[in-house]
Amino acid sequence: MGRPEKPLDPDAGPATAFARELRRLRAAAGSPSYREMARTALFSSTVLSDAAAGYRLPTLQVALAFAEACGGDRLAWERRWREVAEAEGAEPQHAPSRPTAAKAAQRQEAELHAAAVRSLTPVPTQLPREIRPLAGRTRQLQEARALTAPGADPVAPLVISGQLGAGASRFALRLAHELAAGLPDGQLYADFGLAEAQGRGASDIAAGFLGALGIPADAVPQDAGQRFGLYRSVLARRRVLILLDGVRHEGQVRELLDIGSESRIILTSRSRLLGLDGTRGLRLPALERDESVELLAELIGADRLGAAPAAALRLAEACGDLPLALNLAGRRIAGRPEWLLDEAVTELIGDTGTEPARLLGRLRIGDESMRHRIEEAYGALPAHSRPLLHRFAAAQDTSLEELLEELEEFDELDELDQLAETGLLERTRLPGQYAMAPLVRAFTLAESTGPREAGTGAGLRKLSTGRYDRTQERPLRLVTA
């Protein structure tokens, strides 16, 4: 008898309704355990359990194996699956022919081998725990689930990127915990910001992963090429979740991505890492305003926020709807329960709410600081990119258009794209438009007038004041507020 499963939301959509039907079929068959079903389905108990979890539609192969293990009619369940797949907008899949005895034996042998490996070696559980539920991001989570769902082809590594403070790491952690439920051979995690600070590269991280997977230290090759080869061999027949967090450039991770097709790899970065072949990307924008308020309610308390909703909206706007800024502001306010919310928000952003430099100076909790995050990204910029960032921060609408026209004329728009890849600028949904968060702008303006940047103005390229024909080209703009 299987253990009770988590109830399904009756209004969650076609995939959840399909999972409910699978559960009814299993109940009608006497509620066999998933381990018992796995003996005839030739899929692991975890895969079968995941099919009835309801948060995504299983593949056709898994759905048919589940149905047959419970005595269901193959053709009827194939028709039902295709109806749901069409409603979900899933890619059509061809029904697999009934496996031959040789193929069935081969699959069963692979399952038994994987089980034997798990019994002899440790199962790593390196994912950090989730401190609180993820606020908002419903649409992006649905998209990420679709991009990582199993199908006919191997699932490509997913690069989750976003501007500085967009919360890519928190989002990836939520997704990783979901995916890990269907990957029984463990979870591997690496923080590349920390690794870079410690002088560790991809070869060192591969060695750490091998140790977590049960390979003795004296069996890990010293030669980097052989080490990566062993890493690929060990993971070739395992199903693991790998989260590579805070990647700065492609060279840090390229050798870590070529592993077996049954595993899942998630990467986070401010850059889209377009130099990595065979990956998929998901870019996180700033939160919608209602999502920002939802996050603040989680941190401050719904009752306290409900007493002063206008103050929450002022704070969300001042933070540019960036999860990191909202998180720091919310935790700071939560630590002062004796303050009225209006007073606490005014203390952070000023009376008018137009003092981003004031807010930036107050967004710090313990060793976590918004200014420090921006300072790190700014410090990694090439010296020739900083004056361009300063000019964007200082420019108003008219001078921005002139500046961007000059960049177009001198074919220097690649500089703009490079700045966007650092997370200090962000492409908007409109072609040719870029946004700068208010807090980033406040920091950049302070840097451009500070002693560290003294004299850089003399080194700026002398740009032409010529204009191009606006009827032929789409003008570029930068939104600074």
Confidence of residue 431 (pLDDT cuts 50, 70, 90): low
- Mapped onto helix, strand or coil, the DSSP state of residue 426 is strand
Query: Is the pLDDT score of 472 beyond 50?
Result: no
Higher-pLDDT residue of 141, 37:
141
The 3-class secondary structure across 16-42, one letter per residue, is HHHHHHHHHHHHHCCCCCHHHHHHHHC
Q: What is the mean pLDDT of residues 427-450?
A: 82
Residues 6+ apart with CB under 8 A from 51: 19, 22, 58, 62, 63, 66
Q: What angle do CA 20, 24, 27 make, to 5 degrees?
A: 135
What's the burial of 15, exposed, middle or buried (CB within 10 Å: 0-12/13-18/19+)? buried
Q: Which two tokens stand for residue 400?
A: 């921005």
Query: Is the pLDDT score of 463 beyond 50?
Result: no
- Pick the range with the lowest mean pLDDT from 49-58, 161-170, 216-225, 252-261: 49-58
Place of tokens 């725990």: 129
Q: What is the mean pLDDT of residues 387-395?
A: 83
Q: What is the mean pLDDT of residues 284-297?
A: 94
Architecture of domain 138-284: 3-Layer(aba) Sandwich (3.40)
CATH of the domain spanning 14-120: 1.10.260
Higher-pLDDT residue of 463, 291:
291
Confidence of residue 455 (pLDDT cuts 50, 70, 90): very low
For the chain, the structural domain boundaries read: 14-120, 138-284, 289-366, 380-479
Q: Do residues 323 and 317 touch, judged by C-beta distance below 8 A?
A: no
14-120 shares its CATH topology with 138-284: no
Q: Do residues 201 and 195 touch, judged by C-beta distance below 8 A?
A: yes
Query: Is the pLDDT score of 237 beyond 90?
Result: no
Q: What is the pLDDT of residue 474?
A: 37
- Pick the range with the lowest mean pLDDT from 79-93, 310-324, 396-410: 396-410
Percent of the chain scoring above 70 in pLDDT: 79
Higher-pLDDT residue of 479, 429:
429
Phi/psi of residue 463, nearest 5 degrees: -95, 145
Q: How far apart are CA 231 and CA 209, in angstroms?
A: 8
Confidence of residue 452 (pLDDT cuts 50, 70, 90): very low
Higher-pLDDT residue of 30, 295:
295
Higher-pLDDT residue of 324, 104:
324
Residue 115 Cα distances to 37, 52, 65, 87, angstroms: 16, 22, 19, 36
Q: How far apart are CA 367 and CA 112, in angstroms?
A: 48
Query: Is the pLDDT score of 382 beyond 70?
Result: yes
Place of tokens 């009756």: 10
Q: Which two tokens stand for residue 310?
A: 């206008």
Percent of the chain scoring above 90 in pLDDT: 45
Confidence of residue 61 (pLDDT cuts 50, 70, 90): confident
Q: What is the mean pLDDT of residues 154-161?
A: 94
CA-based nearest residue to 61, from 93, 88, 85:
93
Q: How far apart are CA 306 and CA 368, in angstroms?
A: 27
Q: What is the pLDDT of residue 362?
A: 93
Residue range 400-421, pLDDT digits in tens: 667 666 666 555 667 777 888 8
- Paired with 195 in beta bridges are none
- Pick the range with the lowest mean pLDDT from 12-21, 76-85, 239-248, 446-455: 446-455
- Pick the range with the lowest mean pLDDT from 11-25, 213-227, 289-303: 11-25
Helix (H) or strand (E) holding 112: helix 101-120
Q: What is the mean pLDDT of residues 43-58?
A: 81
Query: Is the pLDDT score of 175 beyond 60?
Result: yes
Query: Is the pLDDT score of 172 beyond 70?
Result: yes
Q: What is the pLDDT of residue 407?
A: 67
Confidence of residue 465 (pLDDT cuts 50, 70, 90): very low
Confidence of residue 136 (pLDDT cuts 50, 70, 90): confident
Q: What is the pLDDT of residue 226?
A: 93
Q: Do residues 194 and 302 touch, judged by C-beta distance below 8 A?
A: no
